[in-house]
Amino acid sequence: MNTLPICQNCGAEWSWAETLKIGFKGSKRCDTCGSRQYITPNFSPKIYVLLFLPLLTLIIFNSFLEFPMPIFITLSVLHILSMLSILPYTIKLSNEQKPLW
């Protein structure tokens, strides 16, 4: 199993919540040493697209299969929560900002 990212300056492991924040912002200061950390270029926002692709598929299938709304909402919420729980484990940190694309 992958671990949460580690600050490249002080070696402190980031919490799940800290990592989730940097995943949406692109950079954040380490709570331990205060150095600015960035998402590494080998991590890409494309991962977010791939992880949320099943949600798009669900929406498309819903238009054809017409799931009852409570089932559609439940499946959508479960998918979003599962992706948000996985995303922090896909992020790696760097001391230098480099283009993500």
pLDDT, one tens digit per residue, over 34-63 is 999 988 876 556 666 767 788 788 888 888
DSSP 66-99: ---HHHHHHHHHHHHHHHHHHGGGG--EESS---
Q: Containing domain of residue 81, as a range?
A: 16-94
Amino acid 69: pLDDT: 84
The residue behind tokens 């009852």 is: 68
Q: What is the CA radius of gyration of the chain?
A: 17
Q: Does 6 map to a domain?
A: no
Amino acid 36: pLDDT: 93
Q: Does 4 map to a domain?
A: no
Structural domain count of the chain: 1
The contacts of residue 3 (CB under 8 Å, 6+ apart) are 13, 89
Question: What does the DSSP 8-state code read for residue 33?
Answer: T
Q: Does 9 map to a domain?
A: no
| Residue among 35, 24, 46, 20 nearest 94 (CA) | 35
Q: Does 70 map to a domain?
A: yes
What whole-number percentage of the chain has pLDDT above 70?
86
- What is the value of pTM for the model shown? 0.66
Q: Does 45 map to a domain?
A: yes
Cβ density class 22-56: b for 16+ within 10 Å, e for less: bbeeeebebeeeeeebbbbeebeeeeeeebeeeee
